[in-house]
Structure 1
Amino acid sequence: MAPLQTDLLIVGGGVGGCACALAACEAGLSVILTEDSDWIGGQFTTQATPPDEHGWIEQFGCTHTYRTFREHVRDYYRTHYPLTDEARSNPTLNPGNGWVSPLCAEPIVFLRVLQAMLQPYIDRQLLTILYEHTPVSAQYEGNIVQSVNLQHTRTGETVSVQARYFADATELGDLLPLTGTEYVTGAESQADTGEPSAPPAAHPGNVQAFSMCFAMSYHEGEDWTIEKPATYAFWREFIPSLSPAWPGPLLRLTGLSPRTLQPVHYNFQPNREPNRAFAGLWTYRRILDKTVFQPGAFDSDITLVNYPQIDYLLGDLCHASPAERTQYIEEAKAQSLSFLYYLQTELGFRGLKLRPDVVGTTDGLAKRPYIRESRRIQAAFTITEQQLSAQLRPGETLAQPFVDSVGLGFYRIDLHPSVGGDNYVDVESLPFQIPLGALLPKRVENLLPVCKNIGTTHITNGCYRLHPIEWNIGESVGNLLAYCLKRGVSPRQVRDMPALLTDFQSVLISRGVEINWPDDLVLSEGDPHRHAL
């Protein structure tokens, strides 16, 4: 088969990949977007994780397109669901009333909205989506990537795609080693980065845990107990080898506070927890609050489980062989099911019902692992803790400004326990910008990252890895590549030449990409959206 030709190949259909495709197609580029599953959407959909957002998201601090996406999600519920009159008229409708985010919704709704936003470009033949395709090899010469070969995950058939630009939107940065793009993994040393939270010695295999999320509802008086997982005895008594130490077996309702590293006991009361911040695990990532809908429409809430109890700590996906990757994911699935079984049997919540219909699978677990950390490019500019930390910037309300800003983000530096034995790393950050230099590989000219694979460190990845920030990265890259192709310049020239940079930033602003925070921001310590559980 002759190679496919396109202006931009985006490998990976997650949040950043979809945002990149939207921006590039809107600017008139031809785009091929690939996805290794049968759903696009990444963290929103295949990983079954509602968006982690900051407290100003309804007013500012994200792109116009991201805000449009959020409003389309709300409109979908208003159009297709039997909401109460109060909920229907609520301009900030939160279908799940989960306290992790002001917009907790079902994966299928996020999927339908993304598909609808992309469909006009498919109709105009600007966009082609190759589902169930994964990258297996690439051709490159010097600093230029020429083509990427993709394999269908079920049939084994291959296709080659030639493009002028390539975007790595894979969840683990899988395109980087295939294209010879320099990258780092795991933890850099304090000597390398100067970061107070970095370890004394580098540990490339020390990445944050990943999780196999799942959805569940609760039906009092019914018995939905799953079959006992084969490895339940192991997971029931598993105590992670972490420093500082975990307070006991992981599959318990006692854990550690990320901020203080002191023991905490999690509240867990299905369908009974109040609708307020920090109420408990049930409402934490709840995606359907039955009280938002007409009486009788739903007999239970639906919540997504992305709790510390399902963090998988026994293997690093970045360095795993294909066989090891499969093994780790299967073990993580068993861990998640073991936690559900523990809740059902030992805590007596037999009415907890696994919901495969919500996540679109047969086993009831998300289609893909929830990935917190991937390979990261060796970038023209690397973002460090010193530029973001509130403690290291006393008296400041904003992180270090970047003259090459192409977007905004805000979240605590939030690292989950890692496979190398580190416990939580939790650092108060300040509202920050996304510097263009962090999106440019130090050498390769026509491949850019649009996911969690940008030029952050192990530490700063902890606050740049969230949904709205990944969307902003993807959208800015899509606009950047269109700008470069129309003007005959390179991404590096845009950053290095002040006139081009100013012109490109004006293009971003005209398209609704905010690049500066308001100067009069007031930070609220009580805002639950400044920190995940």
Structure 2
Amino acid sequence: TVCLTEITDWVGGQISAQGTSALDERPTQRSRLFYPKGYLELRDRIKRYYRQLNPGDCWVSESCFLPRDAHQILFNILRKAAKRGKGTLKWFPSTVVKELEISPDGKTIDSVIAIQHKSTADAPALNTFPLSQTIEDWYSYENSSRFEKSILRIVPQQTQDNSSNWYIIDATETGEIIALADVPYRLGIDSRSYLNPSASSATDDPYCTQGFTYTFAMEQTKEAQTQEMPSFYPQYQPYYSYELQRLADFEGVFTYRRIWSSKRGKRIRWGVTAPTPGDISMQNWTWGNDYRPGTSEDNLVYTRRQLRTTGQLAPGGWMGGLRTESLRKGEENALGYYYWLVAGTTDSQLGDGVKEPHPNHRYLTGLDSPMGTMHGLSKYPYIREGRRIIGRPSFGYPQGFTISEVDISRRDYQDDYYRQTLSPEEYRRLWAVLAGLEAPSVIQGKIQPDQVSQRSRSTIYPDSVGIGHYAIDFHPCMTLSPAETPGNTERKGERRGAGQAYPFQIPLRAIIPQKIDNLLVAGKSIATSHIAAAAYRVHSFEWSSGAAAGTTAAFSLETGIAPYQLVQQPLLQQTQLQALRQQLEKNGNPTAFPDTSIFNQNWDDWR
């Protein structure tokens, strides 16, 4: 039996409830269609549903579509999988996890208490109010004027020895289960080191995570529309910008993530058709509806200390682990950005004379709108970064396993910045990591760092259970609080780590947390550093990590071998680990990219 809980009433998360319905893909991986089988099915079903892969004729991706359709497409895939599977699927929409019961020895989760909500008979329908106005109610046991609650206790079937025989997979956007279980995790910026040499801070900063975004949809109209300025617009107006001169083009911004198009317009310089009345655009813009708090006064995802201070780690105290006020301001910021697009004349980064009004548009709302909400914003914000586990200590990782910047980045570390910023010892250790087969000679001082040929590949993991490929892409937090402070700037140095990455793997060690033996992690909360997480966060990676976690759980149930036992040293001699990898490959979930072995030192063709 599989029990699937979802905080909203749509499956799919990023491409549905979060409204980010533009598939982020890299050219080489896309040209070879080298993805997990399920992700390929998603692409195929989108194409069959619309009779084309890119109904939006967008230019950020080869596939942009409506979030409400993404939910239906994914739900059909889920139902098909349930029929094909050997067990029972129980889906619990509009459900939040409230409490965990941990075994006396602290090694297993024995039960999960969740709260499912629905609208009361006299209240407006679900998705009438934005998240900031409802989330605290969702996590409360008591019924309210808006919501009727059902308390769910999820427990496993007991084995003959009365031990738990189940696995929990944390696929939440911010790592709620790992916070509730209080396993070791990181949040925000990691301190600069030879493993993360581009880090923007010499010390950890848990408050600066990547910006989050409430997406929305807007439609071009034939006639100019009356645009009503929100009362809070002046507060956020100093933030909005096209960002770069080459992007200072309204047609380009509209078509960047256009999710529906008649394709009747002429071709424009962005390689797509010009917008025409009836075309719909989804907005997800860095200096627009991104909200980017980054201090202890306004951070969105609460740290462990903040959770304790607010009582959320006390029994029954969990309320989602987010700052409701920052959610509210993110909603206002998004609504203000729409008004700026259609009526604004300022630009915080490019100055006067750049932005012109474009009133021939309307903001789409309603339960039948692309976002499926009466307020028009996505049901849940697009979260780029949450809590990230620290894996268990293993050979080479005495403090716990983590995927770091140097494991995936294409950056040229011969740049003088690294020699000047890192200590001589840290600099030598950096080049020992980058030296590949020459590492022992670098460590022993037989070869100097400037004599090393930097490897041209990512780290290869013998316990890989999945793949991903994307650029290290940052939406940095802002320096001052609140984020919309006039003249505010991005946190200094945060974009230094941004850039191209090699195709990378998902090690099994990255999805196994410390302490809890029957907990696995999928999605953005796997064991990565802040910089590596900027690449390990897009659609196909999330699919691959989910397939890896689910297959691992099933494999462990069938064999009686816990996931952590599969990665006990030495990895290459773990026959059961290899059996798991073979099972993943057999199911159509690749664990390595073609032509990217340790014998192929140059992966430059993968872009």
The match for 1:216 is: 218
Is 1:510 aligned to residue 589 of structure 2? no
The match for 1:266 is: 247
More moved, 498-507 vs 149-158: 149-158
Contact 1:99-1:283 at 8 Å conserved across structures:
yes
1:224 CA displacement? 4.8
The match for 2:77 is: 117
**Which one of the candidate residues 132, 135, 144 is aligned to 2:108?**
144
The match for 1:76 is: 49
**Which one of the candidate residues 367, 374, 381 is aligned to 1:362?**
374
The match for 2:514 is: 442
Map 1:153-302 → 2, pairs under 5 A? 153=138, 154-163=147-156, 164-191=166-193, 193-225=195-227, 227-237=228-238, 250-253=239-242, 255=243, 263-270=244-251, 280-291=252-263, 299-302=277-280
1:193 CA displacement? 4.4
List alignment gaps of at least 5 residues for structure 2: 117-137, 139-146, 157-165, 266-272, 311-318, 345-355, 393-400, 414-433, 435-452, 480-489, 597-601
> C-alpha root-mean-square deviation of aligned residues, in Å?
2.4
Give the direction of change, closer, same or farther, for the CA distance of 1:443–1:292 in structure 2 (3 Å limit): farther
Is 1:304 aligned to residue 300 of structure 2? no
Contact 1:61-1:408 at 8 Å conserved across structures:
no
Is 1:131 aligned to residue 93 of structure 2? yes
The match for 2:144 is: none
* CA distance in structure 1 between the aligned counterparts of 2:361 and 2:74, rounded to whole angstroms: 30
1:522 CA displacement? 6.8
Is 1:349 aligned to residue 358 of structure 2? yes
* CA distance in structure 2 between the aligned counterparts of 1:337 and 1:447, rounded to whole angstroms: 38
User: Residue deviations 1:310-351, cap 9 Å, x none?
Assistant: 211233221176597322112111111111112222332111
The match for 1:275 is: none
* CA distance in structure 1 between the aligned counterparts of 2:475 and 2:526, rounded to whole angstroms: 19
* CA distance in structure 1 between the aligned counterparts of 2:339 and 2:8, rounded to whole angstroms: 27
* CA distance in structure 1 between the aligned counterparts of 2:478 and 2:7, rounded to whole angstroms: 25
1:478 CA displacement? 0.6
User: Residue deviations 1:498-517, cap 9 Å, x none?
Assistant: 21111111111111111121
- State the structure with bigger RCO (CA 8 A, min sep 6), 1 or 2: 1
What SS is found at the alignment partner of 2:524?
A: coil
* CA distance in structure 2 between the aligned counterparts of 1:289 and 1:398, rounded to whole angstroms: 39
User: Residue deviations 1:46-67, cap 9 Å, x none?
Assistant: 1111221111225243201110
* CA distance in structure 1 between the aligned counterparts of 2:603 and 2:461, rounded to whole angstroms: 20
Is 1:412 aligned to residue 471 of structure 2? yes
* CA distance in structure 2 between the aligned counterparts of 1:292 and 1:176, rounded to whole angstroms: 49
What SS is found at the alignment partner of 1:155?
A: strand
* CA distance in structure 2 between the aligned counterparts of 1:446 and 1:292, rounded to whole angstroms: 54
The match for 2:301 is: 318
Give the direction of change, closer, same or farther, for the CA distance of 1:516–1:366 in structure 2 (3 Å limit): same
Give the direction of change, closer, same or farther, for the CA distance of 1:513–1:267 in structure 2 (3 Å limit): same
Is 1:456 aligned to residue 528 of structure 2? yes
The match for 1:382 is: 402
The match for 1:519 is: 595
The match for 1:10 is: none
The match for 1:247 is: none
* CA distance in structure 2 between the aligned counterparts of 1:192 and 1:419, rounded to whole angstroms: 25
Contact 1:493-1:500 at 8 Å conserved across structures:
no
More moved, 37-46 vs 282-291: 282-291
Contact 1:172-1:453 at 8 Å conserved across structures:
yes
* CA distance in structure 1 between the aligned counterparts of 2:31 and 2:278, rounded to whole angstroms: 28
Amino acid at match of 1:302: I
**Which one of the candidate residues 4, 13, 17 is aligned to 1:42?**
13
* CA distance in structure 2 between the aligned counterparts of 1:185 and 1:195, rounded to whole angstroms: 18
1:95 CA displacement? 1.4
* CA distance in structure 1 between the aligned counterparts of 2:82 and 2:514, rounded to whole angstroms: 33
* CA distance in structure 2 between the aligned counterparts of 1:122 and 1:217, rounded to whole angstroms: 37
Aligned residues: 451
Contact 2:301-2:322 at 8 Å conserved across structures:
no
The match for 2:424 is: none
1:222 CA displacement? 2.7
* CA distance in structure 2 between the aligned counterparts of 1:194 and 1:341, rounded to whole angstroms: 39
Amino acid at match of 2:91: I
* CA distance in structure 1 between the aligned counterparts of 2:45 and 2:264, rounded to whole angstroms: 18
* CA distance in structure 2 between the aligned counterparts of 1:178 and 1:160, rounded to whole angstroms: 16
The match for 1:401 is: 460
Amino acid at match of 1:264: Q
1:220 CA displacement? 3.5
* CA distance in structure 2 between the aligned counterparts of 1:161 and 1:317, rounded to whole angstroms: 28
* CA distance in structure 2 between the aligned counterparts of 1:334 and 1:524, rounded to whole angstroms: 43
Amino acid at match of 1:307: W
More strand by share: 1
* CA distance in structure 2 between the aligned counterparts of 1:371 and 1:461, rounded to whole angstroms: 12
Amino acid at match of 1:312: Y
1:383 CA displacement? 0.2
Amino acid at match of 2:107: N
What SS is found at the alignment partner of 1:463?
A: coil
Give the direction of change, closer, same or farther, for the CA distance of 1:59–1:524 in structure 2 (3 Å limit): closer
Amino acid at match of 2:329: E
* CA distance in structure 2 between the aligned counterparts of 1:518 and 1:395, rounded to whole angstroms: 21
* CA distance in structure 2 between the aligned counterparts of 1:443 and 1:175, rounded to whole angstroms: 13
Give the direction of change, closer, same or farther, for the CA distance of 1:313–1:512 in structure 2 (3 Å limit): same
1:176 CA displacement? 1.2
1:31 CA displacement? 0.3
Contact 2:221-2:278 at 8 Å conserved across structures:
yes
Contact 1:58-1:67 at 8 Å conserved across structures:
no
Amino acid at match of 2:577: L
Contact 1:223-1:351 at 8 Å conserved across structures:
yes
* CA distance in structure 2 between the aligned counterparts of 1:345 and 1:442, rounded to whole angstroms: 51
Contact 1:41-1:111 at 8 Å conserved across structures:
yes
Give the direction of change, closer, same or farther, for the CA distance of 1:401–1:205 in structure 2 (3 Å limit): same
* CA distance in structure 2 between the aligned counterparts of 1:174 and 1:444, rounded to whole angstroms: 14
Contact 1:37-1:133 at 8 Å conserved across structures:
yes
User: Residue deviations 1:263-293, cap 9 Å, x none?
Assistant: 53523334xxxxxxxxx22221111121189
The match for 1:259 is: none
**Which one of the candidate residues 489, 495, 498 is aligned to 1:424?**
495
* CA distance in structure 2 between the aligned counterparts of 1:470 and 1:435, rounded to whole angstroms: 14
Contact 1:388-1:430 at 8 Å conserved across structures:
yes
1:470 CA displacement? 0.7
1:367 CA displacement? 0.7
1:133 CA displacement? 0.8
Contact 1:208-1:419 at 8 Å conserved across structures:
no
**Which one of the candidate residues 331, 334, 343 is aligned to 1:333?**
331
Is 1:102 aligned to residue 81 of structure 2? no
1:139 CA displacement? 0.6
Amino acid at match of 1:306: N
Is 1:471 aligned to residue 543 of structure 2? yes
